[in-house]
Amino acid sequence: MSDLMALINQKRKELNKDRQKTIKPADGRGRYRILPSWRPEGGQFWHDFGQHYIKDAMGKVKAVYVCTERTFGKPCGVCEAMLHAQQHVVDDETMKLIQSAKANGRVLVNALHLDGATPDVPQILELSPTTFSQFLAIVQEWGSEVLDLTEGKDVIIEKTGKGLETKYSIQIAAKSKPVDSSVMTKVANLDDYVAQESEEQQRRAISNLNMVAGVIGNSVPATSPRDLPLSAPPHEIDETLDIPMTSAASSNPVSADAELEDLLESLGGN
């Protein structure tokens, strides 16, 4: 019974995750305030995050799954399945398709977009590792007070170019105002946000990847002691797409454009 309850708990978590969408730095110059940790004890104010987008030959996203390597630094079943699939692929097209499932590393922080539509509402800001590294350099230079609600500093993030040419720069704003401490009651718990592991979703991601690659799924090494067979029989393959990033009722599936932009940006090293 307790197994069932645990399963129900996990399923409800999945279903109820009315996922807040992350934001990315806006085009041009934008003013942001990066907020301190959501954890009561303070400290780490960011979380690494990566997702695999598995597409079919038509470029349609068939499955999205958190990359546990990028997110938690733990072995990732999808990364392993990609490696395995790549060893069996002979044509360039399929190889490209598999490689497009590679998860980009991102860093999530809670932030106010001060010149955005809702400057008082904390949002999850998604930064490239390079941009985040620039922000860490700022914190090192100015001290951790940068993150302080009263004494802290706004930052200006400038985004220029598109696709491969996208560049970001981040710098301290000339003047900053104190932030109302009530915003901290509205920040996202990023530990919870990235907790998207689900055997069902992983299985779906891997079986879709294997279909793309034409690999027999069962030969992929299992990564979890509780792993069920990795390749679902055809009648169980769900044609609908659950995207963990959005709520069940959302009409915002991952847009192919945004995905492409992500990919190009990651190739550009930003």
Of 30 and 50, CB closest to Zn ion: 50
81 or 157: CB nearest Zn ion: 81
Closest contact distance (angstroms) between CB of 77 and Zn ion is 8
Give CA–CA dist 59/263, Å, rounded.
13
Per-residue binding string, Zn ion, 40-79, x by CB under 5 A, is ---------------------------x-x------x-xx
CB of 105 to Zn ion, least distance (A): 10
For the CA atoms of 232, 237, 240, 243, what is the dihedral angle to 10 degrees? 10
In the bound state with Zn ion, the residue whose beta carbon lies nearer, of 81 and 114, is 81
Number of residues that bind Zn ion (CB under 5 A): 6
Shortest Å distance, C-beta 224 to Zn ion: 13
Q: Which residue has the tokens 């891997």?
A: 206
75-104 binders of Zn ion (CB under 5 A): 76, 78-79, 103
The contact set with Zn ion (CB under 5 A) reads: 67, 69, 76, 78-79, 103
